[in-house]
Amino acid sequence: MTRALATCLMLVCAAACASRLPAPPANDTNAMEPFPTPRVAANDAPPEILALSFNSLDVRRGTTWTGKFVTTTNVASVEVRTNLFSIDVPRRGFGKFAFSVDLLDVPPIFVRAYRLRVLARNSAGVVAEEDLPFHIR
């Protein structure tokens, strides 16, 4: 194999490994206040994320990152995760969840774009998921 061909193959492989970020979901309500009221749902009904909001999806190291969520009342837990971290969001009431974390300085290798997954689970383990683009600077 020639050097040019090997270089071309490495570039193609690197491009194939790049993750494609999702578009923000329709229930991302960063500008909407007040939040909707949690909808009452039976325990065996599928969970739903009715609204979600973050202070930013483009976070700088050394800042505080916050988020809040409104779900159906049958949601037992909300988790915010990437392949770098996972946050179990505290429940503030039936269908209301919120978190606040200090984003400490991270090594430069982790400063990049991520797929942020918001998972809402009911007590039976059924999951509702929203994916968002997220970036650490």
Extents of the domains making up the chain: 22-136
- pLDDT bucket at 15, cuts 50 / 70 / 90: very low
- pLDDT bucket at 12, cuts 50 / 70 / 90: very low
Q: Tokens representing 105?
A: 């300085």
Report whether pLDDT(38) > 50.
yes
Q: What is the pLDDT of residue 11?
A: 42
What percentage of the chain exceeds 90 in pLDDT?
66
Q: Which helix (H) or strand (E) holds 76?
A: strand 75-81
DSSP 3-state assignment of 103?
coil
Q: Tell me the pTM.
A: 0.76
- The answer to whether 69 touches 49, Cβ cutoff 8 Å, is yes
Classify domain 22-136 at the CATH superfamily level: Immunoglobulins (2.60.40.10)
